[in-house]
A and B are shown apart, each in its own frame.
Chain A
Amino acid sequence: MKNYTLPSLILLALSILLFTRCTKDDGSGTVTIQLDHTVAGTALDLEQIKYASAAGHTYSVVNLKYYISEIRLTDKNGFIVSRGNINLYDIQDPSSSRIELTNIPDGDYTQLSFVFGLNEIINVDGGLPNTVDNINMEWPIPGDQGYHYMKFEGRYDSLNTGTLRSYNIHTGATKGNQNYLEISLPINALALRDNDWTINLQMDLNEWLQNPTIFDFVGQEMIMMNQAAQEIIKANGSTVFSIASVEKT
């Protein structure tokens, strides 16, 4: 002990402190996007014919699958953190509702943006890995390319007459129109400081059927080759998403 001078001991203690701090604090965290689904503000209940569409039909939701890609977080200075992952949500697979964005640098994030669907670079035949899940999303219409962006399927009671019919809102690129959606949502108070956060992102399915244009299932039970219908759904998509909450995890 007598060989050590006080200054060298202080130096040693300081470097240990510094080292400890460096390993503990790498200046980043994970932001998890948790997908949640509602119909007119209430939790989605599959297979139940009980939702009212603006066009006057009672309807159910039976199946829901979609791609979210090109997720970006923007901080208050306009700095953008981009995660190009392609995420396939499948309502039959609860684990697909969590999207983890790792190594997000410390910052005050004020905006969440993403592509609903796939951009034109990815949305070509064979653009995604040949997994069984991706193959099941293929958009094989002759003359078109790529994948379904969304399969939103269910049944409806036509004008409440007791006659059950089916609807398939299948979106994708048709007749040269890409039809994917750019979504940007403001975030309140996501101050990432070497910690993890969760953004609860909500999709209200009823909004696909209204705002600004009422979508009527009748005559539009299938829309893969119907660009006018694709445009209505795309425009209605602007009010489909909202951020329900942002919390430190």
Chain B
Amino acid sequence: MIIARRTLFLFILLALAACTKNTDGPTDNWTYLPVPYTLDYPDEFPIMSLQQTNPMTVQGVNLGRRLYYDPLLHPQGLHACATCHIQDVAFTSSGEVLPHINLGWNSSFLWNGKIEGSMEDIMLFEVEDFFQSDMTRLEADSLYPRLFYEAFGTRTITSTYTARALAQFFRTMISSNARYDKVFTPGSGEFPTEEEQNGYDIFFTEKGDCFHCHGGILFTDNGFHNNGLDTQPSPLGRSQVTGNPNDLGKFKTPTLRNIALTGPYMHDGRYETLEEVIDFYSEGVKTSPTIDPLMKQAHQGGIHLTAKEKSDLLAFLHTLTDTTFTHNPALSSPF
């Protein structure tokens, strides 16, 4: 599938390369023949919701990929999405940058869930409000008018179409091939190490109780929680959106897929390493009026793991690293 897609992509690139030689020719030879794009993910994953107004096409995905890596989206051309969302580290970078992993299954976005709705909605926010992209820069480009025409049949480039192309590419940013997906799937013929299995048992029981927020095949509940970082819960999270004091200190649950790659951790990047994160959940949890009831051991500072249990849990978390995702050529820079 990946090879087929890659071949198709190369073919399109070649076709485009051939076309760029004729940019001063008439636009009549542009073709709008969108090829349907089928998303590829395991049956265990939920069905990803798509937008009828934005059907997935090979041309749309490829355009979105190009836009993701192109600083032209920035009004002064200073940076692209990919400047802060680096594939080697599962499309994140230092600080509070949320990774771009399996976001096609999300319905609320950013740490505080400020944008709710479809992938198209969050991408429109990114284009219009975050980047404040200048569409005339795309229209003046030698290549984009043709790419937009081939993807959407439009001769006018708008932020809506730009958002749609990005949304299509984001839906393909799927991580489903970690060691976890093999060794913890019966019948795969591969097995976890003793440490990984011990870590799994901590993770998926009330011993560690990680799974209530970070569970399921997506390793997130797509919810908002106060996980006990501070005695005075932060006003910068969900409460900023809802205005509800019961939401103080609540932030979006990030997926734990590729978690070993996506540090530093927490909404403010306060922990550099996974070891520090485990220490926090073990002994550093602080109680507050809005702490999530799932943090049942907050009153005693956390879940109190032994050194061995901590290293087992760490070994389990490392099974969520998916190097086929971080090396997927279909998600890499087209430049």
Residues of A within 8 A of B (CB): 46-47, 62-63, 126, 130-132, 135-136, 138, 140-142, 153-155, 163-168, 221-222, 224-225
Out of A47, A132, A140, A166, name the residue touching B295 (CB < 8 Å).
A166
Asked if B217 and A135 sit within 8 Å, CB to CB, the answer is yes
Residue from the list A126, A132, A221, A224 in contact with B222, Cβ < 8 A: A132
| Nearest CB on A from B52, distance (A) | 19
Contact of A164 among B215, B222, B299 (CB under 8 A): B299
Interface residues in chain B, defined as those with a beta carbon under 8 Å from any beta carbon in chain A: 43-47, 105, 200-201, 204-206, 209, 211-212, 215-218, 221-223, 246, 287, 289, 291-296, 298-299
Nearest first, the 5 closest Cβ-Cβ pairs linking A and B are: A135-B216, A166-B293, A153-B293, A222-B206, A140-B204
Which residue of the partner chain, among B43, B46, B218, B293, contacts A62 with CB atoms under 8 Å? B293
In the complex, A214→B298 CA distance in Å?
Answer: 25
Residues of A within 8 A of B47 (CB): 130-131
A150 to chain B, nearest CB (A): 13
Minimum CB–CB distance from A62 to chain B (whole Å) comes to 5
The residue that B294 contacts in the complex, of A132, A140, A166, with Cβ under 8 A, is A166
Contact residues in B for A47 (Cβ distance below 8 Å): 246
> Quick one: given A131-B46, A132-B218, A224-B205, are A164 and B200 in contact (CB under 8 Å)?
no
Which of A62, A131, A136, A153 has a CB less than 8 Å from the CB of B215? A136
Specify which of B205, B295, B298 is in contact with A142 (CB 8 Å cutoff): B205
Contacts of B212 in A (CB 8 A): 168
A130, A163, A168, A224: the one contacting B293 at CB < 8 Å is A168
Interchain CB contact under 8 A, B299 and A165 = yes
A sample of 13 cross-chain residue pairs with beta-carbon separation below 8 angstroms, ordered by A number, consists of A130-B43, A130-B44, A131-B46, A131-B47, A135-B215, A135-B216, A138-B216, A140-B204, A142-B200, A163-B299, A221-B296, A222-B296, A224-B206
Q: A166 to B217, alpha carbons, bound, how many Å? A: 26
CB neighbours (8 Å) of A132 from chain B are: 46, 105, 216, 218, 222
Of chain B, the residue at the smallest CB distance from A138 is B216
B30: shortest Cβ distance to chain A, in Å?
39
B154 to chain A, nearest CB (A): 32
Q: How far is the CA of A125 from the CA of B133 in the complex (A)?
A: 46
Minimum Cβ distance to chain B for residue A167 (Å): 7
Closest Cβ of chain B to A145, distance in Å, is 13
Find chain A residues with CB under 8 A from B289 CB.
164
Asked if A166 and B204 make an inter-chain contact with CB atoms under 8 angstroms apart, the answer reads: no
Q: In the complex, what distance in Å separates the CA atom of A71 from the CA atom of B293?
A: 31
Pairwise interchain contact B218-A135, C-beta atoms closer than 8 A: yes
- Whether B221 contacts A136 by the Cβ 8 Å rule is yes
Task: Determine how close the nearest CB of chain A comes to the CB of B184; give it in whole angstroms.
Answer: 10
A126–B42 CA distance with the chains assembled, in angstroms: 13
Residues in A with CB closer than 8 Å to B222 are: 132, 136
Contacting residues, chain B, for A136 (C-beta < 8 A): 215-216, 221-223
Query: Is the beta-carbon distance between A135 and B296 smaller than 8 angstroms?
Result: no
Chain B residues whose C-beta falls within 8 Å of the C-beta of A141 in the assembled complex: 204-205
Q: Is the CB of A168 within 8 A of B216?
A: no
In the complex, the answer to whether B215 meets A130 with C-beta atoms within 8 Å is no
Contact A142:B46 (CB < 8 A) given known A132-B222, A163-B299, A167-B293: no
Instruction: With a 10 A CB-CB cut-off, give which of A132, A164, A166, A168 has the most chain B CB atoms.
Output: A132
A142 to B209 Cα, complex, angstroms: 13
Q: CA of A43 to CA of B246 in the docked complex: distance in angstroms? A: 19
B215 proximity list for chain A (CB < 8 A): 135-136, 138, 140
* Structural contact, A222 and B204, CB atoms closer than 8 A: no
Within the complex, what minimum Cβ distance (angstroms) separates A201 from chain B? 25
Q: Are A155 and B296 in contact (CB under 8 A)?
A: no
Q: Which of A46, A131, A136, A167 has the most CB of B within 10 A?
A: A136
Known: A135-B218, A225-B205. A168 touches B200 (CB 8 A): no
Assembled-state Cα–Cα distance A34/B158 (Å): 46
Give the distance in Å from the alpha carbon of A46 to the alpha carbon of B45 in the complex: 32
| Distance (whole angstroms) from the CB of B23 to the closest CB of chain A | 45
> In whole Å, how far is B227's beta carbon from the nearest beta carbon of chain A?
12
A166 to B105, CA, bound (A): 30
**B43's closest neighbor in chain A, by CB?**
A130
Q: In the complex, A126 Cα to B215 Cα: how many Å?
A: 14
Having A130-B46, A165-B299, A168-B293, one finds 11 other A-B pairs with CB under 8 Å, namely A132-B218, A135-B218, A136-B215, A155-B293, A164-B287, A166-B291, A166-B293, A166-B298, A167-B293, A168-B296, A224-B205
Chain B min CB distance to A140 (Å) = 4
- A180–B132 CA distance with the chains assembled, in angstroms: 54
A47 to chain B, nearest CB (A): 5
Give Cα A132–Cα B295 distance, bound, in whole angstroms: 22
Cβ–Cβ < 8 Å partners of A221 in chain B = 296
- Taken together as a complex, chains A and B put the C-alpha atoms of A46 and B43 apart, in Å, by 37
How far apart sit A62 and B209, CA to CA, in the bound complex (Å)?
A: 18
Contact of A154 among B205, B206, B246, B293 (CB under 8 A): B293
Alpha-carbon gap, A153 to B298, bound state (A): 15
Q: Which residue of B lies closest to A151 (CB)?
A: B212
